[in-house]
């Protein structure tokens, strides 16, 4: 039996570039680092003792100093409608984190969390109703992908940073995890199959653009007009104007040569009238160049029970309600007729509270 040291560390928190350093410091050849990366990220090993081509004393050393899994699956619900699976994990400090497996005919995508709770508290979002506890570490972020791959027995081919939390407010851990996800020797997931969704933290979008990650960016815009947006997302927490968010997003997509997605959750009577949609089209026409790649994802609001818990101090107490199906189609056609690529994103796992805005308690 392996003797453990008192303060073991979480191995997935070590950036793969740092693995070589620790292997050499432990008196082993540097080339072992690449073998270990293959075991941990490609073969998804969760116990060093199974790494058969690694010398026994190095396996023992790693087992004594590091652990490979930090979270446990505490709950799992599968949708009877579309095969979506919602997972609840427990962290080592006993906090709940959610992730969702979203299978389609040709892709196996996961939606993962970047924080425990969310400091933004969007009024329409169940995650926002969960008090912000802490950032997830880089290891805890990639562990969600490993855990869902292992539990479903499927290779993951796409990742959405759209679970709990605002990814850009956990900047370093998220960037580090994206580098692992796209690295050919680790997860090897295509850059265009990873989407990072942000509520619009302007300076951090611009900083992210310079990282050249090449992944897709989605802006949770939901309105063309700052007054309407303020009724959904507190300006106290996100004090940026829509035009500045859009310009930052376009800067990102031009730098990374990726399509920018504008997410537009449609609420009955709040942002679904034709006057609002005309303003939305005007906003796009004023800022988007003909060479820009842009897509609008229309998402029908999923009723959550958390609405009334949000927007403390808000002057507007509009009750949020899902739009009618015809309205969604009407908006989509309206945008398409004006040469804007628009799709209706169908809810996944709505029966198990795994759809957009429902990840919470």
219 binds ligand SF4 (CB under 6 A): no
Instruction: Report the site for ligand SF4 in 263-282 (rule: CB under 6 A).
Output: none
Residue number, 63 or 220, with CB nearest to ligand SF4: 220
Instruction: Report the site for ligand SF4 in 96-135 (rule: CB under 6 A).
Output: 118, 120-122, 125, 127-128
Among the listed residues 16, 139, 158, 165, the single contact to ligand SF4 using CB under 6 A: 165
| 260 beta partners | 217, 294
Residue number, 36 or 122, with CB nearest to ligand SF4: 122
Residue number, 238 or 335, with CB nearest to ligand SF4: 238
Which of 102, 51, 96, 57 is closest to 73 using CA atoms? 96
13 binds ligand SF4 (CB under 6 A): no
Nearest approach in angstroms of CB 114 to ligand SF4 is 9
Question: Site mask, ligand SF4, residues 172-201, x = CB under 6 A?
Answer: ---------------------------x--
b/e for 159-179, b at 16 or more Cβ within 10 A?
Answer: bbbbbbbbbbbbbebbbbbbb
| 66 beta partners | 9
Describe the crossing of helices 325-337 and 274-287 by its angle, rounded to 10 degrees.
30
Please report which helix (H) or strand (E) contains residue 217, including its range. strand 216-220
3-class SS at 237?
coil
The first and second tokens of residue 274, run together, are: 């034709």
Question: Site mask, ligand SF4, residues 317-336, x = CB under 6 A?
Answer: --------------------
- Number of residues near ligand SF4 (by CB under 6 A): 12
Using alpha carbons only, how large is the chain's radius of gyration in Å?
21
Nearest approach in angstroms of CB 103 to ligand SF4 is 22
Nearest approach in angstroms of CB 327 to ligand SF4 is 21
Residue number, 156 or 164, with CB nearest to ligand SF4: 164
Nearest approach in angstroms of CB 268 to ligand SF4 is 18
Among the listed residues 166, 263, 307, 353, the single contact to ligand SF4 using CB under 6 A: 166
As a whole number of angstroms, the distance between CA 56 and CA 160 comes to 38
Q: So which residues are the catalytic ones?
A: 356
Largest CA distance in the chain: 70
164 binds ligand SF4 (CB under 6 A): yes
Q: Could you please report the per-residue DSSP string of 75-139?
A: EEEE-TTT--EEEEEE-TTS-EEEEEEEE-SS-EEEE--SEES-SS--TT-TGGGSPP-EEPPHH
> Which residues would be at the binding site for ligand SF4 (CB under 6 A)?
118, 120-122, 125, 127-128, 164-166, 199, 220
């Amino acid at each position: 039996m392996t003797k453990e040291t008192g303060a073991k560390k979480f191995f997935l928190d070590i950036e793969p570039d740092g693995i070589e350093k620790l292997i050499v410091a432990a008196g082993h050849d540097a080339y072992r680092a690449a073998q270990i990366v293959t075991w941990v990220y490609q073969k998804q090993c969760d116990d060093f003792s199974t790494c058969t081509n690694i010398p026994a004393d190095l396996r023992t050393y790693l087992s004594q100093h590091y652990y490979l899994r930090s979270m446990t699956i505490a709950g799992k619900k599968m949708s009877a409608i579309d095969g979506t699976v919602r997972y609840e994990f427990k962290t080592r400090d006993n906090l709940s984190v959610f992730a969702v497996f979203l299978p389609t005919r040709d892709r196996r995508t996961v939606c993962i969390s970047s924080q425990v709770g969310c400091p933004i508290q969007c009024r329409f979002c169940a995650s926002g109703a969960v008090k912000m506890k802490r950032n997830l570490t880089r290891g805890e972020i990639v562990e969600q992908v490993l855990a869902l791959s292992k539990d479903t027995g499927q290779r993951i081919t796409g990742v959405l940073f759209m679970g709990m939390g605002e990814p850009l407010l956990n900047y370093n851990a998220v960037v580090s995890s994206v580098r692992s996800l796209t690295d050919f020797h680790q997860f090897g997931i295509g850059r265009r199959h990873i989407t990072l969704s942000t509520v619009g933290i302007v300076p951090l979008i611009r900083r992210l653009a310079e990282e050249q990650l090449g992944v897709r960016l989605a802006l949770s815009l939901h309105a063309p007009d700052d007054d309407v947006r303020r009724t959904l997302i507190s300006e106290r927490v996100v004090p940026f104007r829509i035009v500045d968010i859009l310009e930052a997003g376009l800067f990102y997509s031009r730098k990374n040569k990726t399509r920018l997605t504008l997410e537009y959750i449609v609420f009955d009577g709040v942002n679904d009238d034709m006057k609002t949609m005309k303003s939305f089209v005007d906003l796009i026409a004023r800022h988007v160049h003909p060479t820009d790649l842009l897509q609008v994802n229309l998402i029908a609001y999923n009723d959550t029970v958390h609405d009334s818990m949000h927007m403390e101090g808000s002057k507007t107490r509009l009750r949020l309600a899902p739009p009618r199906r015809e309205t969604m189609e009407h908006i989509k056609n309206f945008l398409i007729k004006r040469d804007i690529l628009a799709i209706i994103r169908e809810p996944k796992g709505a029966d198990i509270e795994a759809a957009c805005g429902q990840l919470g308690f």
